Amino acid sequence: MLIAIPSDTTDGLDAAVSEHFGHCAAFTLVTVTDNTVGEVSVLENMGHEEGGCLAPVNLLKGQGVEVLLAGGMGGRPLAGFQQVGIDVRSREGAGTVREAVELYVAGGCPSFGEAQTCGGGEGGCGGHGHHHEPETFPIEGKADVRSGRLVTVDFEIKDSGGAVLDASTSTGPMRFVYGAGQIFPAIEQALGGLEPGAHAVATVPAAEGFGDRDESRVVEVPRAQLAPDVSVGDTVFAQDSQGHRFRLVVLHMDEKVARLDANHPLAGKDVVFELTVKSVEGIKTDA
């Protein structure tokens, strides 16, 4: 059985389980046979620029994942996992990948339901916002965006040429706690002080977003190493010496050589977020 756990780092079994499903750094893949942990590898999460909210569904299904242990996610990706036969389970507070897998093997980790989804069926991708929805309350007076408040935002992400790369109409709105470092700093700066209904535009430079292109990540391999049906533009997967799996796009191919690009699809690109504040809520605390 192959189990996937969204992770904040690439430290294998010691990696912290990510609170942000769709935008986690990686998925740690753990093989379990007869309740014994076997091979452990790491699959880089490329976000959901391609395929929208269901991109992680397709990514993990393509790896043969049978079980996903997570803290929460939106209703759309949950339905997607269920449709492709991946069993989504709650990791029930486990802090590391090791703890989550051990809990599952011991018979814990109940199946996901509406209570675990972010905002029910309306919630976003789980990577645009906060997994565990905090208990909220309506704000009396000026409900502006400020530190410690839960903000819900509709958005479109565009490249510098105006092409839409992602939008809340397909993936659900962003939900995040303002000031908690859950979104790019440029977005926080653009939204500060706004009230529901207000619009904003934030440009995220490549260096502050998806990083600069690294041409050393473009490699050539013998054509024979790829499957016969692979074509230019296809995505293939590779694994490094430390067991980390990552995605590459086929740029060029002839009878002898294939040229592959391991850069993030948006690496080197400035992106523009067009934002509309839907709601601002207070968050209840134990204090």
- Domain 134-208+268-283: assigned CATH number: 3.10.50.40
Two tokens, residue 2 = 């192959």
Task: Decide the pairing of beta strands 150-159 and 136-137.
Answer: unpaired
CATH 2.40.10.330 residue spans of the chain: 215-261
For 219-277, the pLDDT digits (tens) are: 999 999 988 888 998 878 776 665 555 678 899 999 999 999 988 777 788 999 999 99
**Closest Cα to residue 279, out of 183, 137, 179?**
137
- The pLDDT value recorded for residue 74 is 63
Q: Band of the pLDDT at 278, cuts 50, 70, 90? A: very high
CATH topology of domain 215-261: Thrombin, subunit H (2.40.10)
pLDDT per residue over 97-140, tens digit each?
999 999 998 888 887 654 444 433 333 343 344 344 567 889 98
**Residue 265, beta-bridge partner list:** none
**Residue range(s) occupied by CATH 3.30.420.130 in the chain:** 2-116
Tokens of 193: 């002080």
Of 76, 19, 98, 107, which Cα lies nearest the Cα of 89? 107
For domain 2-116, give the fold: Nucleotidyltransferase; domain 5 (3.30.420)
Q: What is the mean pLDDT of the chain?
A: 81
Structural tokens at position 103? 């809990």
CA dihedral sign, ordered 156, 6, 110, 82: positive
Q: In angstroms, how far is CA 234 from the centroid of its own chain?
A: 21
Pairing state of beta strands 199-204 and 164-167?
A: unpaired
CATH 3.10.50.40 positions along the chain are 134-208+268-283
H helices of the chain, in order, are 55-62, 75-83, 97-105, 168-171, 185-191
Distance CA 152, CA 154 (A): 7
Tens digit of each residue's pLDDT (9 = 90 or more) over 189-220 = 999 999 999 999 999 888 887 678 889 889 99
Which residues does 188 contact at the CB level (< 8 Å), separation at least 6?
A: 178, 179
Q: What is the mean pLDDT of residues 41-59?
A: 68
Instruction: For the chain, give percent helix, strand, coil, nearest 5.
Output: 20, 35, 45
Q: 10 Å Cβ neighbour count for 111?
A: 10
- Reduced to 3 states (helix: H, G, I; strand: E, B; else coil), residue 94 is coil
